[in-house]
Amino acid sequence: MGDWLNTFPTVGSQTLRALARYPERIAFSWPGGSISYRGTADLIGQFQKVFMSLGAQPGTRVALLTANRADTWCAGVAAQPSRFAISWLHPLGSLQDQIDQIEDAGSEILVIDADTFLLRGGELAARAQGLRHVFTLGRADYGIDLLLAADAAGSATPRDFAGPDDDAVLNYTGGTTGKSKGALRQHRQVAGFASAILADFEIPDTPRYLTVAPISHVAGTKVLPALIRGGTVHMLKGFDPEAVFRTIERERINFTLFVPTMIYMLLDHPALPKTDLTSLELLLYGASPMSPSRLLEGMERIGPVFSQLYGQTECYPVSVLRKTDHDASRPDLFLSCGFPISACDVRILDDDDQEVAPGEAGEICVRAPHVMAEYWQRPEQTAETLKNGWLHTGDIARADERGYMFILDRKKDMIVSGGFNIFPREVEDVLTQHPDVAMCAVVGVPDDKWGEAVTAIIVARDGARPSAEELINLVKTRKGSAHAPKHIKFVSELPLTGVGKIDKKSLRASFWVGRERMVG
């Protein structure tokens, strides 16, 4: 079973311990229902009894497709102490992407939230190769109803049979720079994440945590920390601004997580000034940079509760920009992705993996207990990413003298224009400070003269009509003529990936049709 002496307890053990500590408290709440800590532990035990009756081998992959709901989260927890590894399917992913993930992971068990994904679940059950068992939560004409099977199995005390070297999680990257890859973690690489979050994120005592973003992704990483603190996780199945406002006010929510596009929608919603948000203590945001002007607006209208998180599928978390760093008198820090958390060794390295001087550009590289073990079945990409004892994030950044990091861009997004290396993030940071710009994306497009021309795609604030010439001159003044966009395109909305990031791959694709450059 490998070395047990110097490892964290598994996530299963940590979860079961947290549930045992506060048996009478409400663990999960959702529109129309709730479940106590004791009830959650009982449900996990019943699900585990069903899973272990299947006779599946340790390491069996369990794919889950679900909206935010407590019982599917419990199914994932039950799988891991049974020595199975879970793989969350993206709830907004395409059918083919989900099939590819099931088959790439080698998933034998599929768990479907039939209330939300009835038809898609049926398609996956029929088409994905290698599945041996399909469970549904909710009525369906395929698979086995996991809730009915749990009732039939009877009560069972959940037990953790997993060891540190058992596979625990196979999470897939967002695919923004190419085909999605599976980041594999054994229990020893997963177990420390909750402690890392509780150490450096300002999670309130007795959290009342609202999950709106999918629990299959970063929002799910805050569930266990909230339970360890004895809190309640309030679940909404999707982002509806009015439902978000009502829930925060009614449940006195003190902690939530949004992507920037959600925050923009809340700021633009007429219900904001009429809603009591004074219970909020922490509003985490991440997945993509936030407009500094909109961040200031959020701080003025919602309060000094903003905190930015940074990490990636291969290692989360990496850094945090805490509430006190969101200081209107120091707006330069708004452009930072934060200060490295205590559980991570983070360096800015050059192409030879040597540390650069403060202020110089290099790649963010990380060492931490929660770095992935490997990319599943991709040895060459694993070797390239986990090189010389560092996780190479692919994010180019500079760090100031104190260690605050400022991401310039993804390494693969760099634009080469007229012989100059230009990072789109630097241009976007200038453009989004203009009061008439709601969102923007900067990409390189083919140009016979420049090789690539800096092109900005702009979403204007409601009622505003910014001048292209004014925006170009703004960048020219702040960054110089090489960075100034050669083209400005105004659009009503930007394409987003399933996790709320701007989809630059699709933005670039239309400009590069028939050209040699790789779109990814």
For 229-246, write each residue's pLDDT tens digit. 999 999 999 899 999 999
Q: State whether 234 and 377 are in the same domain.
A: yes
Q: Rounded to 10 degrees, what is the CA torsion of 252, 253, 259, 265?
A: -10
Q: State whether 221 and 266 are in the same domain.
A: yes
Burial group, residue 297, by CB count within 10 angstroms (0-12, 13-18, 19+): middle
**In CATH, what number is assigned to the domain containing residue 287?**
3.40.50.12780
Q: In this structure, what are the phi and psi dihedrals at residue 268, rounded to the nearest 5 degrees?
A: -90, 0
Q: State whether 96 and 158 are in the same domain.
A: yes
Q: State whether 165 and 226 are in the same domain.
A: no
Query: What is the reported pLDDT for 419?
Result: 65
**In CATH, what number is assigned to the domain containing residue 41?**
3.40.50.980
In a domain, 14, yes or no: no
Nearest to 455 by CA among 447, 465, 445, 464: 445
Q: State whether 384 and 260 are in the same domain.
A: yes
Q: State whether 467 and 491 are in the same domain.
A: yes
Q: State whether 421 and 404 are in the same domain.
A: no
Domain boundary among the residues 410, 445, 477 is at 410
In a domain, 125, yes or no: yes
Q: State whether 391 and 289 are in the same domain.
A: yes
Nearest to 375 by CA among 385, 365, 366: 385
Q: Is the dihedral of CA 389, 394, 398, 404 positive or negative?
A: negative
Residues 444 and 417 sit within 8 Å (Cβ to Cβ): yes
Q: State whether 374 and 231 are in the same domain.
A: yes
Q: CA–CA separation, 300 vs 304, rounded Å?
A: 8
Tell me, rounded to whole angstroms, the distance of Cα 398 from its chain centroid. 23
Contacts of 363 (CB under 8 A, 6+ apart): 348, 349, 350, 351, 392, 393, 394, 395, 396, 397, 411
In a domain, 245, yes or no: yes
DSSP string, 292-345: HHHHHHHHHHT-S-EEEEEEETTEEEEEEE-GGG--TT-GGGGG--BEE-TT-E
Q: CA–CA separation, 148 vs 30, rounded Å?
A: 21
Domain boundary among the residues 139, 171, 189 is at 189
Pairing of strands 26-30, 232-235: parallel
Residues 94 and 119 sit within 8 Å (Cβ to Cβ): no
Residues of the chain with pLDDT under 70: 1-2, 174-179, 288-289, 411, 418-419, 498-499, 512-520
Q: CA–CA separation, 313 vs 273, rounded Å?
A: 36
Query: What is the reported pLDDT for 19?
Result: 98
Query: What is the reported pLDDT for 516?
Result: 45
Contacts of 39 (CB under 8 A, 6+ apart): 27
Query: What is the reported pLDDT for 401?
Result: 94
In a domain, 6, yes or no: no
Domain boundary among the residues 123, 155, 189 is at 189
In a domain, 12, yes or no: no
Q: State whether 199 and 325 are in the same domain.
A: yes
Q: State whether 277 and 371 are in the same domain.
A: yes
Q: What is the pLDDT of residues 125-177, one digit of tens each?
A: 999 999 999 999 999 999 999 999 999 999 999 999 999 999 999 999 865 44
What residues are paired with 87 via a beta bridge? Answer: 63
Residue 177's domain comprises 37-189
Helix (H) or strand (E) holding 122: helix 114-127
In a domain, 29, yes or no: no
Query: What is the reported pLDDT for 161?
Result: 97
Contacts of 501 (CB under 8 A, 6+ apart): 174, 176, 259, 287, 288
* First vs last C-alpha separation in the chain: 40
Report the number of distinct structural domains present in the chain: 3
What radius of gyration, in Å, describes the C-alpha atoms of the chain?
A: 23
**DSSP label of 278:** T
Residues 510 and 447 sit within 8 Å (Cβ to Cβ): no
DSSP-based helix, strand, coil % in the chain, nearest 5:
35, 25, 40
- HSE of 352 in the Cβ direction (CA atoms, 13 Å)? 2
Q: State whether 144 and 261 are in the same domain.
A: no
**In CATH, what number is assigned to the domain containing residue 489?**
3.30.300.30
1-5 LR contacts (CB < 8 Å, sep 24+): 1/163, 1/164, 1/165, 2/163, 2/164, 2/165, 2/188, 3/164, 4/163, 4/164
Query: What is the reported pLDDT for 6?
Result: 85
Q: CA–CA separation, 56 vs 54, rounded Å?
A: 5
Q: What is the pLDDT of residues 205-225, one digit of tens each?
A: 999 999 998 999 899 999 999
In a domain, 183, yes or no: yes
In a domain, 24, yes or no: no
